[in-house]
Amino acid sequence: MSAAPMLEVRGVSAGYGTFRALFDVSLEVRAGEAVAVIGPNGAGKTTLLRVISKIIAPTAGDVVMEGTPLGPVPAHRVVELGIAHVPEHRRLFPRLTVEENLRMGAFHPAARAKFRERLDFVYELFPRMKERRNQAAGTMSGGEQQMCAIGRALMSGPKLLLMDEPSAGLAPVIVQQVFNLVKRIRAEGYTVLIVEQNIQQVLQVVDRAYLLEVGTIKQSGSSAELLASPEIRRAYLGL
Amino acid sequence: MFDTFLLESVINGILLGGVLALLALGLNLIFGVIDVVWICYAELVMIGMYAIWWLHVYYGVPLPGAIVSAVMVVALMGVLLHRLVIEPVLGKPPINQLLVTGGVLFFLQAAATLAFGIEFRNLGLRMPVVEFGDMFFSFARLLAFGTALAGVLLLWLFLTRSYLGTAIRAISQDREIMPLMGVDPRRIYLITSAIGGGMAGVAASLLVLQYDVHPAIGLSFGPITFMICVMGGLGNMLGGFLAAFVFAQFISVGGYFFQIEWGYVIAFAFFIAMMFIRPKGLFSR
Ligand SMILES: Nc1ncnc2c1ncn2[C@@H]1O[C@H](COP(=O)(O)OP(=O)(O)O)[C@@H](O)[C@H]1O
Ligand SMILES: [Mg+2]
């Protein structure tokens, strides 16, 4: 038996009003792993990440981060436990500058103390962001905004990075850059849970994946297993 | 021909503009961040003026102490206003929000009448007049102008340089993701309300040096403050700042050419005309 997982999602159900988007979803992510949740539009991938970072509360089940159940933790303190969320559609503050967006990522007290150090790290990772640091974030290209959104999440000093479709809406060349970046972030020692519809490409950069369809986990396994799975090849890879 | 009196009016307009800018800034901050209009904003200023008068004249608290206490009282009132009145109607239709803060306006007027009566009260200060060339300026106005500009500058530094200030600007752009940044939106709203109230308190201390206080005094500058905010583009703090100086020139220079009441008439006429030409504000893009 290896050590307990870093993140455990235990029997989570969630939805919006009377609508159920997730049904009894369980998964785990171990320290140092990169794990993907793949599935079609509307499967509940975004909802799952929102439950993990407590933007919405589950109707059943719980999420446990390094042994701490998130149930009683206020939403704005989840980030202090080492969970950073790069939201769907990036969600930068468009009228703040790049550097002000990065400052927001370092809002919590422990992160403020390390602001300079981490800013240097993010600028080293994304020299482009350093060039644009005084530019309003909303005026940058989609690829640049994605870098800024990832940089903002890294500013909190996370252990676990949640990424919601970082490749969505980007030109094909940029998509490849984003996946290379995910590899680079892993190599820096971050644990990653990534949600993607770009299945072929995401399976190249993660260790394991879960297939989510209409709110339930349908399959899970190593990237190689899922790439070889007849259902996934037929339904998602068009092979 | 050089007209000293006209120049004096222009300068007095600039001095008035500083105070109006400070007034507009507090209201604009609240609207820009919380998306609610404090209809009772000028009545908070009125309460601040009474607090200074009461502490200083009645209890003999030295003026600086009375002013600092009054600023804190009005800041606290801003917090209470948010907590008790605004929070329950956040996300409700704007008309509900206007009605509740409008209700607070009448409540504060009535409370002030009961507590202090309808008499005009003043601090009984004799402020010196400053002579400059052939022109005369009231020291109270110069002091008010300097303090207002310092207040505006401090607020700007706070909003652009500090973590909290950046969060206050960020929350108006995307409230839902604030918790992902480690920010509790509710706390930011309470802090913003305290700052908005505090600005009303600072404005009160500048006005009480120049004007008598009475329960309806809010009516003499509340409407102007709203018009300045609308003219500058509601929530646009820089726009409101500039609009305050435009408006003040109309009042001051218009009053020089005609009579002081006409200055206000011209300013209001300009406002109505602008609402047809640029309904989103003078400086909208
Ligand atoms: N804010 C919302 N209100 C109501 N329904 C929503 C909301 N967000 C998502 N949904 C619904 O929940 C389901 C799952 O959505 P989502 O988690 O965004 O899926 P995915 O990210 O996999 O595309 C969809 O049917 C979607 O229509
Ligand atoms: Mg999604």
ipTM: 0.94
Indicate the pLDDT class of residue A2, thresholds 50, 70 and 90.
low
Task: Decide if domain B4-277 falls under CATH 2.40.160.
Answer: no
Question: Per-residue pLDDT for B128 more than 90?
Answer: no
**Closest ligand (CA of A164):** 2
**Closest ligand (CA of A44):** 1
Q: How many CB atoms lie within 10 A of CB B158?
A: 14
Average pLDDT of B227-255? 86
Phi and psi dihedrals of A194, rounded to 5?
A: -120, 140
Strands A160-164 and A34-38: unpaired
- The per-residue pLDDT for A1 is 45
- Give tens-digit pLDDT for B2-28: 678 888 888 888 888 989 999 999 999
Q: How far is CA B22 from CA A40, B58, B154, B162, B268, in A?
A: 53, 28, 11, 20, 20
pTM of the model: 0.91
Interface contact flag, B179 A55, Cβ < 8 Å: yes
Buried b (16+ CB within 10 A) or exposed e, A113-145: eebeebbebbbebbebbeebbeebbeebeebbb
Is the CB of A42 within 6 Å of ligand 1? yes
Q: Which strands make up the sheet holding A60-65, listed edge to edge? A: A19-29, A7-16, A60-65, A68-69
Please, are residues A188 and A175 in contact by the beta-carbon 8 Å criterion?
no
- With a CB cutoff of 8 Å and minimum separation 6, the contacts of A183 are A205
Question: Within 13 A of B2's CA, how many CA atoms are on the CB side?
Answer: 5
- Give tens-digit pLDDT for A116-138: 999 999 999 999 999 999 999 99
CA distance A139 to A157: 26
Question: Per-residue pLDDT for B214 more than 70?
Answer: yes
Letter for the amino acid at B132? Answer: F
**How many Cβ pairs closer than 8 A exist between chain A and B?**
63
Most confident listed range (A84-88, B35-39, B138-142)? A84-88
- Give tens-digit pLDDT for B134-180: 788 888 888 888 998 999 999 999 999 999 999 999 999 999 999 99
Q: Which strands make up the sheet holding A83-86, listed edge to edge? A: A83-86, A160-164, A191-196, A34-38, A208-213, A216-222
- The per-residue pLDDT for B179 is 97
Question: Per-residue pLDDT for A76 more than 80?
Answer: yes
Please tell me which residue, B261 or A106, carries the higher pLDDT value: A106
Please, are residues B48 and B70 in contact by the beta-carbon 8 Å criterion?
yes
| B162 reaches A (C-beta below 8 A) | no
Please tell me which residue, B65 or B253, carries the higher pLDDT value: B65
Question: Per-residue pLDDT for B64 more than 50?
Answer: yes
| B174 reaches A (C-beta below 8 A) | yes
Please tell me which residue, B279 or B108, carries the higher pLDDT value: B108
Is the CB of A18 within 6 Å of ligand 1? no
Is the CB of A89 within 6 Å of ligand 1? no
- Give tens-digit pLDDT for A4-53: 899 999 999 999 999 999 999 999 999 999 999 999 999 999 999 999 99
- The per-residue pLDDT for B91 is 85
| B182 reaches A (C-beta below 8 A) | yes
Most confident listed range (A161-165, A200-204, B122-126)? A161-165
Closest CA to B66 of B194, B209, B191: B209
- The per-residue pLDDT for B1 is 54
- The per-residue pLDDT for B284 is 67
